[in-house]
Amino acid sequence: MIIILYILIAVFLFIASFWIQTLSAGKTQLSPRFFPQVILLCIIFLNIIWLYQIIKDPEADVVFKKISKEKKIRLTKTIIISLLFGILFNWLGAIPAILLCVLGFLWAWNIRKPLILILFPVGISLGIYLIFSKFLSVRLPMGIFKGLF
């Protein structure tokens, strides 16, 4: 399934490559299309070989290892919190996003001690603020709090 998706994406990109502008007088040099087109053709060709190998011998391919339900849930929560982190980082601002997401991560990774759940996110947020914002002068996003501080 993944291979077919990979081939389809490569085919789409190959077709899209024909929309890349080229120099009309540039007959003496390789056009900007040439290199990506060669790579995409190679990717398509090698994926077809891979697909053929799997059809010929399905056991030769890597089989997804089964993981326990608990770990599956932990992974799903980690992915969701990471994506939320990306959204909140810009919208809510870096420090509140770190505070909330570290709390979320700890919860997802089965930490239930109230003291850790309170102190750790606060400590990390404060540490990041001091190191990156104050010491390294990185302009962290302020999000909806822009203008308040």
Question: Which residues in this chain contact another protein in the complex, by CB under 8 A?
Answer: 2, 13, 16-17, 20-23, 26, 28-30, 32, 34-36, 39-40, 42-43, 46-47, 49-50, 53, 61-62, 64, 67, 71-72, 74-75, 77-79, 82-83, 85-86, 89-90, 94, 98, 101-102, 105-106, 108-111, 116, 120, 124, 128, 131-132, 136-141
CB of 61 to another protein, least distance (A): 8
* Token pair 């770190």: residue: 98
Identify which of residues 66 and 149 has a Cβ nearer to another protein in the complex. 66
Q: At what angle do helices 34-56 and 2-16 cross, to 10 degrees?
A: 160
CB atoms < 10 A from the CB of 31, how many?
13
